[in-house]
Structure 1
Amino acid sequence: MADWAKVFHLFAMFESFFGSYYFVYLVDYPKSFGLEEPEFVPLKGRMRYLTYWNMVLQTIYFFIALLNDFIGSNENVPAKVPLIRKVKDYIFSSLAFPAAMYVGVTFWGLMAIDRELVFPKVLDEFFPTWLNHLMHTNIMIFIFLEMFLTYRPYPKRKRGILGMTLFLVTYLIWMHVIYFYSGLWVYPILQVLNWPLRIVFYLVSLVFGIAFYMLGEFSNNKLWSKQISQSKRSGRKKTN
């Protein structure tokens, strides 16, 4: 299992990094399309997208997971949990899993309703289909595979949800910084909503984030119930 984990983590890290690189440096939209990209936003304006933030997050997570394979521990209940393992487990539960699910589900959900609100058809000529799936489909597949591959105890719910909420709120603030300086909304759907509806949209987005966190916790608890019981027993013995 250890060798398979290393191979998987290396591949997942490389794919996320490659997708991020390709999106920034090899995807160009003709200016004639009217797709303005704020000049002050780093990396050709691509840092305005939550999809890009998530790809960077997945790259970081799988890099840390790979480090843990070599210098940490993948034991279900190690005698002493290495710091790298604690970091890996927290990032997975509070950030990597809910962010991947949020990006994938909301993207394909909005695409099904009206793709012009999130990914206009005019982009198909310059944005490869394989890259679209790499950034919006594979992320969900890979993060679920990771859940099946290695066990991790979830943090206390308040701590986990706090990390996820801070991530989403930071991104929402960033979107408004971009709008303040450029007058451009990152996503077309925000252009057609008035302020009360935008606030509702943000609140629903946060609820979605919490829901995906809970999905991860529920799935992990069902999948690794024996290991969780063993971990609790071990914790009680140490306390005694």
Structure 2
Amino acid sequence: MEQMARHPFQRLASPSRQVSMFLHTAGIISFLASFQFLAEWETEISTSFGGHYQFLTIIGLALALSTFVIGLIADLTLSPSLFQAKNSLAVCSTPLEVLISILFWGLCAIDKNLVFPPESELSFLPNFGFHAAPGLFLTLDLLLLSPPWTINGFATVALSQTLAFLYWFWVEYCHRQNGWYPYPIFDILDTWQRATLFAFSAFLMTGSTMLLKWLYGKINGLEAIGVPAVARAEAE
């Protein structure tokens, strides 16, 4: 299959069977190692309704794995359509993983008991695999192996708000089935405070999307971030 032409602002060739395939393979190994740890980690939540997918961390990890699996298949087949599918999914998974990293490490800096009870505390390496590695891998994929995102401000806000409140509804539904929340902080807050927390999280995800776009521009020489990438490419 013929490889698609590289976008003028894309730093390295992708899909390709070189650096791109190596990064996607390394990411998949990391994500699968986290899922393997999860499968062997027996807790009350693993047998409850929703299981570990009550955690935003695990939902984000599943999206990250899906993104990189599609990316790896695109590398192996040199498929432009799969490459575009990977990039479309990354618009959701990358800011979400950045958000997860900010929330987790930020709350841990305040009080670790806000994100997990003392008996469920993980050591650094599993925590890094769950709460830092996915964001790092996806950010590298964006900065080095992807064309610039063309999502505008309104769409970014809409996507962030939709994901935040879908997760809130899912958490509340699981709470009705199980009688408890996956994160201790949810038990501390009342309904309106939880709504505020999810709205704030959506704001942070919007901010992470804009920050990633800005960082992409600084690293890859895209000066006018507000101009759609397609129009910039056509103008050259």
TM-score band by shorter chain is: 0.7 to 0.9
RMSD: 2.5
Query: For the Cα contact (< 8 Å) 1:58–1:96, is it kept in 2?
Result: yes
Q: Deviations over 1:4-24 (max 9, x none)?
A: 11111111012112212321x
Q: Which amino acid aligns with 2:197?
A: F
Q: Deviations over 1:107-132 (max 9, x none)?
A: 010001011110233224xx443111
Q: Which residue of 2 aligns with 1:186?
A: 182
Task: Note if 1:150 corresponds to 2:149.
Answer: no
Query: For the Cα contact (< 8 Å) 1:90–1:155, is it kept in 2?
Result: no
Identity of counterpart residues, as a percentage?
Answer: 20
Task: Note if 1:88 corresponds to 2:86.
Answer: yes
Q: Which amino acid aligns with 1:92?
A: A
| Aligned equivalents of 2:84, 2:45: Cα separation in 1 | 41
Query: For the Cα contact (< 8 Å) 2:113–2:184, is it kept in 1?
Result: yes
Q: Which residue of 1 aligns with 2:72?
A: 66
Q: Which residue of 1 aligns with 2:131?
A: 136
Deviates more, 1:190-199 or 1:223-232: 223-232
- Count the aligned residue pairs: 217
| Aligned equivalents of 1:68, 1:162: Cα separation in 2 | 28
Query: For the Cα contact (< 8 Å) 2:97–2:135, is it kept in 1?
Result: yes
| Structure 1, gaps ≥5 residues long | 30-34, 74-81
| Aligned equivalents of 1:198, 1:18: Cα separation in 2 | 32
Q: Which residue of 2 aligns with 1:27?
A: 41
Q: Deviations over 1:72-105 (max 9, x none)?
A: 46xxxxxxxx322222222222x12111111111
- Relative distance call for 1:38 and 1:198 in structure 2 (3 A) is farther
Q: Which residue of 1 aligns with 2:119?
A: 122
Query: For the Cα contact (< 8 Å) 1:111–1:118, is it kept in 2?
Result: yes
| Structure 2, gaps ≥5 residues long | 1-11
Q: Which amino acid aligns with 1:221?
A: G
Q: Deviations over 1:183-232 (max 9, x none)?
A: 21121111111222222112111111111111112112222235989853
| Aligned equivalents of 2:114, 2:139: Cα separation in 1 | 28
